[in-house]
Amino acid sequence: MRRTRTAVLISGRGSNLAALLAAAREPGYPAEIALVVSNRPDAGGLGHAAGAGVATAIVDHRSHAGKPAFEAALQAVLEAARIELVCLAGFMRLLSEAFVERWRDRMINVHPSLLPSFRGLDTHARAIEAGVRIHGATVHFVRSDVDTGPIIVQGAVPVLSSDTADSLAARVLAVEHRIYPRALALVATGAATVVAEKVVLGAEPEGAEARCLIWPGPA
């Protein structure tokens, strides 16, 4: 089976990276994590890559004079590794429209809210503040407006009256770890494609379950 060469871009602890690495170890998983790129030399997630024997690259934004130079370096490491798909997983740099367009429909992101609600930062505190009863996470194709783009998979969790931003974040993170590998598989197999800026699932190997997860969902 041909596995899609995938890079994961991180800036921090890399728990979503760990979930993707674990999924990619399963026989039959359609993507290979061929490269992990961090813009921070001290990102904890680099340890997950090393533990899995996956190549890493540091492209430190602080060592490049401006975004074009940083993104050119990023593009160079992706091309050198013959990367076909990019997963953003806690990658904390805003990417230019030119870079996003270059990877159009080949770059996906996980965001800790049910988009289009709560784009941006501090999503859990804002969900509690807004009083929503249901919160969650989204994996979507990346577009140049931050936290927008065709939605691939979402997962929902309840918001409990006892929740703090931290307890809610932990519940959502567990869902992120379930939906990100699923979304990557859908994209890598070509089952998820973009038509008129919406994701269409062609062959649905897991039926409707493929596109949404209600916490805690089936094991």
Which residues are designated catalytic? Answer: 111
| Stretch 61-90: interaction string toward ligand GRF, x if CB under 6 A | ----------------------------xx
| Stretch 144-183: interaction string toward ligand GRF, x if CB under 6 A | -----------------------------x--x-------
Residue nearest to ligand GRF (CB): 90
Both structure tokens of 104: 């159009």
* Total residues interacting with ligand GRF, rule: CB under 6 A: 14
CA distance 173 to 63: 31
Q: Which of 202, 141, 211 is CA-nearest to residue 179? A: 211
Stated as kind and residue range, the H or E segment containing 136 is strand 134-141
Regarding 115 and contact with ligand GRF (CB under 6 A), the answer is no
Q: Among 31, 37, 107, 110, which residue sits at the site for ligand GRF (rule: CB under 6 A)?
A: 110
For 9-59, give the DSSP string. EESS--HHHHHHHHHHTSTT-SEEEEEEEESSTT-THHHHHHHTT--EEE-
Regarding 12 and contact with ligand GRF (CB under 6 A), the answer is yes
Which residues are CB-contacts of 219 (< 8 A; sequence separation ≥ 6)? none
Residues that bind ligand GRF (CB under 6 A): 10, 12-16, 45, 89-90, 110-112, 173, 176
